[in-house]
Amino acid sequence: MITDAQVERWLREDVGHHDVTNRVPGETTGRLVAKESGVAAGLEAAAAVFDYLDVTVTDRLEDGTEVEPGDDLCRVEGSAREVLRGERVAVNLAGHASGIATRTREAVTAAAAESDDVAVAATRKTTPGLRGVEKRAVVAGGGDTHRLDLSHMVMVKDNHIEEMGLEEAIARFDERTSFATKIDVEVETVADAPRAAAAGADIVLLDNMTPAETRAAVDELAEYEGVLAEASGGITVADVPDYAATGVDVISMGSLTHSAPSLDLSFRTGT
């Protein structure tokens, strides 16, 4: 849910304290238009900006809709001054989110070509203040959000293992979590994958392993019923087929959110 407080911050950053540019009289209409092919997302956020300014949003596409150049993502009507005040923030939000959704759809499609059983997930490598928008964009592209924040799942990472050791770190967090909270353990070698599973990991994250190493680790985990294998670490869309073919359950990709280029959108007033 997009809050008024979020919208106020976005608009305050863009409008500033003395907006002369957009003091345009009268009423107008406008439309958010795709300039390239992709997957629409972020339209809830864009609509929230216009709603806050008392601009009416009409004909809004559903997030996840594939668009082509010239397609309208949404239309608006209202005070020309407020339409123009909202358009840049709306375009930036929707363009950024649509870029993430587009990149995610590419990764999901690449994974599905090799396996019907692998999920493509995002990470916490998101822009501060925009995590909700970015995670919803991942979903629009067909991906999984992974954990939304630190409370959603325990991740035992290399720094925890360095401080406490693998088994001790897992045991420590297992004692302090609810039965409903999963424990995801990051390992960097094939040999450590079964160690993590035996110590109580629900998910074993195979970090920065090659596809061959990932396949070997998946084989090592086969005897641990219910333990999921997750591949992660610098994986690109081009790498996805090779990792999907290893038998992992999840491919998590920070690049879905931190490196996806914005989809090129524009905002045009009038008919």
Residues labelled catalytic: 88, 125, 157, 186, 207
CA 84, 86, 91: angle at the middle one, nearest 5?
105
Residue 53 is encoded by which pair of tokens? Answer: 């300014």
Asked if 117 and 51 touch (Cβ cutoff 8 Å), the reply is: no
Instruction: Tell me how far apart the alpha carbons of residues 157 and 123 are, in angstroms, rounded to a whole number.
Output: 14
CA 77, 83, 85: angle at the middle one, nearest 5?
170
At 269, which amino acid appears? T
Residue 51 is encoded by which pair of tokens? Answer: 């709603």
Query: In the 8-state DSSP scheme, what is residue 55?
Result: P
Instruction: Tell me how far apart the alpha carbons of residues 125 and 255 are, in angstroms, rounded to a whole number.
Output: 8
| Closest residue by Cα to residue 136 from 100, 188, 184 | 100
At 176, which amino acid appears? R
